[in-house]
Structure 1
Amino acid sequence: MALDSALFYLELPHTIQMAYAIQPLIDAAKQYLVSRYKDLTKCMQQEEVMALPLSEIEAILASDDLHVESEDVVARELVIEALLFKEQPPASLEANHRRFVERAYKLRHVTVLQVQLPWQQHHYVVGFNLKREECANLFPSGQLYSHPFHLGVHAFFLKAECNMDQQSSFHCFGLFLGMPENAYSAESSLAVDYEFTARSRPPEPIANEFLSKYKGNCTFTEGTVVGHKNMFAMPWNSFIAQDSLLFKDDVLHLKVRLTIKT
């Protein structure tokens, strides 16, 4: 058994007719991979391990013969690195490094932080970061939705889009907050104060801080959407330009502050 043959056997089609005939080969291939990589503390950083298909990595991690201090050790460092990358990709990473290439998600990742303050027990901050390339791809009429997130039992989403400002007749960047039409909640509506903020570089008055761009309040029910079609009060070309103050390391940093009114 060799690495190439082991990978070949594990990728064979698993049809009912072939299952009995190829099962011994599959078992032998898994045993070989486990024997080769059973000491993960020594080989975890090797490019050879990182290049293995997912099914082969699963076969290795499923083995009881791994030489690790505890199960917490298995892939922990890689998981932490992946989570940190999704939160804010380091600008210094090479774009073609396969270990850190981010997938083209249809729904964008958001972070939700509940702020516990004595006078505001239901205050949330939702982070919604977009790459310059993602923003550029919205032109002329594209939309990008966030993953649904919850405020208590109520589901919400954020939506970024490029749209036409009817008053000035130019394209611009819009940001919206909504409650899905099929959202399930124990209550029929939810009153929320919302504020859209964005991070900007100097020469804004407060360097690198999140500045308020739009705010209001609304009682949300299923299908309710609020927001601003021209959140930055500028045409699209100015918003997306290379010298735009809104992008830091080619990332647009947005935060939506939400307070549930009780």
Structure 2
Amino acid sequence: MEESRTDDVGRECNFAFAFNNINFSDRILNLEVIPDPCPQSHSLSPNRKRRRHSLTKEEGAVMDILNFMYGNTLSRTTSAAVLDVLVAADKFEVTSCMKYCSRILRQMPMTCESALQFLDLPSSILTANAIQPLIETAKLFLATHYRDITKFADEVLNLPLVGIEAVLSSDNLLIPSENCVYNFVLKWARRHYPKIEDRQQVLGSRLGGLIRFPYMGCQKLKKVLTCEDFPPDFASKVVLEALFFKTETPYRQWSLAAQDVDTTCCRFVERTYTYRPVKVVEFALPRPRCVVYLDLKKEECVRLFPNARIYSQEFSLGKQGFLLSPRCYEDRQNSSHCFGLFLVMQFKQSVSLHVEYEFFARSKFTLEYLTRCKGNYTLTAGKSVGHRNLFGIPWTEFIADNSHHFINGLLHLKVELTVRQ
């Protein structure tokens, strides 16, 4: 039922004058619309509100398609009406009409309701090339609107499956860490899928793939292995994959992320987290000890000026929680700024812990980690220890284009921490 849109020399044809005109139309077209005997269903979508078109709507949509084939335009102007035509155009494989409807719908004001309607269309439409721009626009709208999922937590938790997938696919979520995404996904799945079998199915086949496990903390990854919400084979696979990723060099990690960028789930692509991911190696003997690696992009360091700070993900040692905190320190006495690095003990209870610490930074010349400061200190909750000028140079020299401290745009920091009591 596809129509020709241009003449032999490429000019657009318009036959609106002949539509339903007695001088050109000498046949009567009878339309008989019957219900679909095998309606599509999405078993993973509980309480799914499908768009059910009445026979009258579908008949009107078919007439609109015929009108479009003659005049290259539609008389309908509302989102719901154009959507009816789009569904009918897909049924009769009128690709040019589908493209036209997609373009018109993208030009209309988008709302969360309309975006969810677009993503809730039958699978035959969702996979059609003609409307991919509309689908991508709807996903981007939802991801942008709900970018701060903590701010809109109640709304996001009530989104249907297609909506939560659109939000969690985004690289630009405003979240403290990927641990928060993991917690959020479990909370959503438990609310919408009370039966463990259904929950395992949707997490293993759909939502679990949107969690970027390589950027979760090691303590949280351990919990994934014992979480009954995930299929056991899926949990083992993603945790093993995450641990291997963490052991790769930053260059290799970047390569994996670049290879993954075209897939549905960019699981190796780092989001913009409030707390920066770290790699941690723990030792139990002869005394509790850990080695923590923190890599910062140069642009992240630039944004620290003149007096900002950032925090790493929490890591544990001796049953206590710690953070690393790089910052731009203002030395008012010398009227200059410099790069500082501090170790902060997280837990709030009145606990003191005597630690031995050593801070390292990787050299551009030797590619080795060189000691920058070390010492012993008794930490209490909320207290920190570190060095205000880790490299012993002004900020301008540290951040300069020819700086010796950035390797391929990355600052590589390492902290060794040992409990002494």
TM-score range, shorter chain: 0.5 to 0.7
1:219 to 2:384 alignment:
no
Alpha-carbon shift at residue 94 of structure 1 (Å)? 5.0
Residues 287 and 420 in structure 2, CA contact (< 8 A), matched pair in contact too: no
The aligned residue for residue 324 of structure 2 is 158
Alpha-carbon shift at residue 132 of structure 1 (Å)? 1.0
1:103 to 2:103 alignment:
no
Inter-CA distance 141–96: structure 2 relative to 1 (3 Å threshold): farther
The aligned residue for residue 295 of structure 2 is 129
Report SS of the residue matched to 2:356. Answer: strand
Instruction: Judging by fraction of residues, say which structure has more strand.
Output: 1
2:235 & 2:123 partners in 1: Cα distance? Answer: 19
Pick one of 348, 355, 359 that aligns with 1:183.
348
Pick one of 84, 87, 97 that aligns with 2:245.
84
1:236 & 1:179 partners in 2: Cα distance? Answer: 26
Inter-CA distance 95–243: structure 2 relative to 1 (3 Å threshold): farther
The aligned residue for residue 147 of structure 1 is 313
Report SS of the residue matched to 1:141. Answer: coil
Letter in 1 for 2:364: R
Letter in 1 for 2:281: L
The size of the alignment, in residue pairs, is 220
Pick one of 29, 37, 55 that aligns with 2:165.
55
Residues 165-199 of structure 1: CA deviation (Å, up to 9, x unaligned): 2343211100001113x534xx7211001111111
Alpha-carbon shift at residue 214 of structure 1 (Å)? 0.8
The aligned residue for residue 192 of structure 1 is 355
Task: Mark the runs of 5 or more structure 2 residues left unpaired by the alignment.
Answer: 1-35, 54-115, 128-139, 141-161, 170-188, 190-197, 206-230
Inter-CA distance 78–65: structure 2 relative to 1 (3 Å threshold): closer
Residues 204 and 234 in structure 2, CA contact (< 8 A), matched pair in contact too: no
Report SS of the residue matched to 1:62. Answer: helix
Larger radius of gyration: 2
Q: TM-score, length-normalised on structure 2?
A: 0.43
Task: Mark the runs of 5 or more structure 1 residues left unpaired by the alignment.
Answer: 37-50
Instruction: Judging by fraction of residues, say which structure has more helix.
Output: 2
Letter in 1 for 2:348: A
Pick one of 216, 241, 252 that aligns with 2:411.
252
Residues 114-159 of structure 1: CA deviation (Å, up to 9, x unaligned): 1355xx3222111111111111111111110112221121111110
Q: TM-score, length-normalised on structure 1?
A: 0.66
1:208 & 1:238 partners in 2: Cα distance? Answer: 19
User: Which one has more relative contact order, counting CA pairs under 8 Å at least 6 apart?
Assistant: 1
Inter-CA distance 227–55: structure 2 relative to 1 (3 Å threshold): same
The aligned residue for residue 173 of structure 1 is 339
Inter-CA distance 54–75: structure 2 relative to 1 (3 Å threshold): farther
Inter-CA distance 174–53: structure 2 relative to 1 (3 Å threshold): same
The aligned residue for residue 17 of structure 2 is none
